[in-house]
Amino acid sequence: MPDTPQKINWQKAALTLQQGLEGEVIDSSVLEHLRQADHVLVACSGGADSVFLLCLLVARAQEIGIQLHVAHYNHRWRSEASDADASFVESLADSFNLPFLSDTRSEKEAAFTETAARMLRLDFLRKAAHLKHCDYIIFGHQLDDIIETQLQRMARGCASDGLAAPRPVALFDEQPTHLRPLLHLRAGDIRRALQASKIPWREDRSNGDISIARNALRQQIIPDLCDALGRDPVVGAARSRRLLEEDAAALDLLARQYLPAAYAHAPTLDRARLNSMPTALVRRALAEWLSGHDLLSSLGAPAMDLLIESLRSKREQNRMSAGTHYILIDVDTLSFEHQDASDQFVELQAAVLGIGETLFLSTGAFIDAEALELTDTLRQQILRGDIDPLREAIITHPEEDSLAVRAWQPGDRFHPLGAPGGKKLKDCFIDHRIPQAERKTLPIVINASQVVIWIPGFPPAESCKISPSTKRALRLTYQTRKPL
């Protein structure tokens, strides 16, 4: 289907689409929320799924009794094509006579990963929803998205809550509820319905790039899995998602019952009480407690594992960094305290960066660690030295699942790429004229062998350099902007 706007009667096309569908297309739990809503925000990228969703909601808006608002975020990843996507969605909203909200990633934003991109988009959508008094944000995710999300999360390691996503209805404290009405529809059925109604959409050309993990899963891994099993794993994954959501809801109910202080966001938690509970309940209670004190975003999955391990250990006292706070463990309690922020520069606190995770630092910056398969084009860019060391480094993929991140310590040594040998990191700072106070704010990324592999502003370590034969790599991206 052409991906450029055509002069069509959009209102008529939306009604034609709705009339051509059999039965109730909108998920029943989503429909229940929509019937209670006044204003809702529709996230529209211009792709087939979100265009289908918007047309469906336009056709049903009067019957359901909702006012629609259309929102689009331009990541600027594909230059003119991304701008064309934004123009397409704006013209679509205008054709439906709907309010349109948009934002564009600033050119000052350095290169970043898909994780950071999702954060920027979600931050925009939530701000737009608050601006227009929308209690709901609606997304066009469909059934095929489920197995792709599950496989990516399984590779990182996650609990039932993570594998139960994306959910039809996702609730958040003090944020709009997320609705996904189309999780029971296949991507192919959605496109066929659009084609039958002669409705165009924008096709992202990068969807054919199998160096992007989700594309490789969609085009290679999942079809191969289907052939190997002799059955469609997409349908099975969708059923597993529903069952996992049921399990997660039951665990959450038990955790609320047995660890109510965590859900009340008490300033301290009873250590003995936590240790008397199954780990599954403790993990979700801690996540709720940390979230209630705005600390959860500062801890990745490895750090949460370390926190639970510290709670269970015989060690009477421990302290962990969590953004601008410390989490304190003593004989009887678990608590937290704010770090001293009186200095001009906030000293960076030690933390753990999981592969595939985003780590929020005590300085307000964050680091992403994204595993990737190198394309020939990207490999050539790296070998030519086209990667900006101030913001990112692409290195050989480490054997470990996590890396340590901490501030500079006297005696640290570093052997940057291309240098004849290593030298004291202090001398590297002096050579780069980095002020002494600022040195304590820079994250030092260290592997399991205690080798410094990268500091933002410097090339990566010689021991981690990409060679012409390297296939698997790790992209480390550093952002000094405040966490969303």
76: pLDDT strictly greater than 70: yes
Domain 351-479 top-level CATH class: alpha beta
Contact 394, 382 (CB under 8 A): yes
pLDDT in tens, 357-401: 888 887 778 888 888 888 888 888 777 777 766 678 888 888 888
How far apart CA 151 and CA 161 sit, in angstroms, is 14
Indicate if the pLDDT at residue 301 is higher than 90: no
Handedness of CA 428, 430, 433, 435 (dihedral sign): positive
CATH H-level, domain 10-207: superfamily: HUPs (3.40.50.620)
Picking from 161-170, 337-346, 463-472, which range would have the lowest pLDDT averaged per residue? 337-346
pLDDT in tens, 267-291: 999 999 999 999 999 999 999 999 8
Q: What is the pLDDT of residues 415-436, one digit of tens each?
A: 988 788 888 888 888 877 776 7
| Model pTM above 0.75 | no
Instruction: Tell me the pLDDT of the chain averaged across its residues.
Output: 87
Percent with pLDDT over 90 in the chain: 48
Tokens standing for residue 106:
């600033």
Each residue of 197-246: pLDDT tens digit?
999 999 887 777 777 777 888 888 999 999 999 999 999 999 999 999 99
Cβ-Cβ contacts under 8 Å for 283 (sequence gap 6 or more): 159, 304, 308
CA distance 170 to 167: 6
- What share of the chain in percent tops pLDDT 70? 93
Contact criterion met (CB below 8 Å) for 456 and 443 = yes
Give me the residue spans of the domains in the chain: 10-207, 259-338, 351-479
CATH architecture of 259-338: 2-Layer Sandwich (3.30)
